Amino acid sequence: MKNPLETLIIPGGILLLGFLSALLLPAPQFGLELSKQLQAQLHLQDLNQLYTIVFCLWFLILGTIEYFVIRFIWRRWSKK
């Protein structure tokens, strides 16, 4: 850790990249049958709760993947 604020920059970068990618990439959509099955398994009240969870997970997963890809590229190119 070179920067003392790196512990704050990493999660902030993940959230920002996830937000940007969520605007560009469509989140997964389930069929009605699978949605009802997941709703029953997770003991959710309605499908809105299921899709809130799906969108939050999609947001965080995309941001994390993009952060690590960009970090890998940045570290590889900045050493030259």
What is the chain's mean pLDDT, rounded? Answer: 84
> What's at 36, amino acid-wise?
K
35-48 confidence digits (pLDDT tens): 999 999 999 999 99
Q: Which of 49, 76, 58 is nearest to 22 (CA)?
A: 58
Q: How is the chain split into domains, by residue range?
A: 48-80
Q: Residue 80's pLDDT is what?
A: 61
Asked if residues 17 and 70 have their Cβ atoms less than 8 Å apart, the reply is yes
